Amino acid sequence: DKNVCFKVKTTAPRRYCVRPNSGIIDAGTSINVSVMLQPFDYDPNEKSKHKFMVQSMFAPVDTSDMEAVWKEAKPEELMDSKLRCVFELPTENDKPHDIEINKIVSTTATKTDSSVMSKSISSSLDDTEVKKVMEEYKRLQVEVQRLREENKQFKEEDGLRMRKAPQTNNPISASAAVVKDEGHSSRLLALVVLFFVIGVIIGKIAL
C-alpha cells in the first residue's frame, strides 16, 4: 500500500550499466531494471565474484531530494536483497549460445599493430624470396655507391674542362655535357628510390 524507493549497487560498477539504477515504485506496480555487461577482457579468476545488492525502503512523503533521503535513512528502515553474478560460457558445439554471448558480452575489437603486419609479411615470403631480396639489396648498395663515385668523378672532370676551355667553347659540347650529367643524376635518383623501397621491405621482414 506504500510507494517504495530503491537503488542498485554492484561490486564492479565499471563492468555493468544498470538502468535505472534507482527510482520510486508506486504501490501495486513493478519496474524492469536492465543490467548490461560492458566490454572487458575475460578473466577466469573473476568468475562468480561480482555481486549486486538492491536496497529498498518505503518512500517518505518528501522525495524531492533522494540523495538526502538515502543518507538520512535508518538501518532498520532499509531492506536489502543480494544477487550473485555467474558467467556461463558456451561449449564449442553450442552455436546458438555463441550468438547470445556476443549480444551480452561485447567483444573487444582486434588491434592490428605493426608487429602483426610484419609477421604476416614475413610469413608470406619463403626463404628463397627473402634470399633474393637480400641479394638484390646488397647489389643495389654496391651500384649506388659506384654511381656516386662516378658522378663525383664526372663533376670533377667537367669542372677541369670548364676551367681549361677558352671562353669561346662550342655550345654543342657544353649542352652535351649537361645532358650527360642529367642522365647520370636521373639514373642515380631512380636507383636511390628503388634502394629505399627494398630497404623498407627488408626492415619489415626484420621486424
Over residues 155-185, the pLDDT tens digits come to: 777 777 776 665 444 554 555 554 455 566 6
Considering only residues 188 and 99, tell me which one the structure prediction assigns the higher pLDDT: 188
Note the maximum CA span of the chain: 119
CATH code: domain of residue 34: 2.60.40.10
Domain check: are 15 and 95 in the same one? yes
User: What's the pLDDT at 136?
Assistant: 78
CB 59 within 8 A of CB 5: yes
Check whether the bond before 20 is cis (ω within 30° of 0).
Answer: yes
Question: What are 18-41's pLDDT values in tens digits?
Answer: 999 999 999 999 999 998 888 877
Domain check: are 97 and 179 in the same one? no
Domain count of the fold of the chain: 2
Question: What are 62-121's pLDDT values in tens digits?
Answer: 888 999 999 999 999 999 999 887 777 666 655 554 445 454 444 444 444 444 444 554
> 3-class SS at 101?
helix
Q: Is the pTM of this model over 0.75?
A: no
User: What's the pLDDT at 150?
Assistant: 80
Range of the domain at 200: 114-206
Tell me, rounded to whole angstroms, the distance of Cα 33 from its chain centroid.
34
User: What's the pLDDT at 106?
Assistant: 45
Boundary (domain end) residue, out of 104, 127, 152: 104
Question: What are 117-159's pLDDT values in tens digits?
Answer: 445 545 555 567 767 777 877 887 787 788 888 878 877 777 7
Q: Counting beta carbons within 10 angstroms of the beta carbon of residue 14, is it exposed (0 to 12), middle (13 to 18) or buried (19 or more)? A: exposed
Domain check: are 99 and 138 in the same one? no
User: What's the pLDDT at 172?
Assistant: 47
Residue 63 located in a structural domain:
yes
User: What's the pLDDT at 48?
Assistant: 57
| Half-sphere CA count of 177, side-chain side, radius 13 A | 15
The answer, yes or no, to whether residue 13 has pLDDT greater than 70, is yes
Q: Among residues 161, 142, 141, which one has the least CA distance to residue 153?
A: 161
Domain check: are 143 and 179 in the same one? yes
CB 138 within 8 A of CB 195: no
Residue 109 located in a structural domain:
no
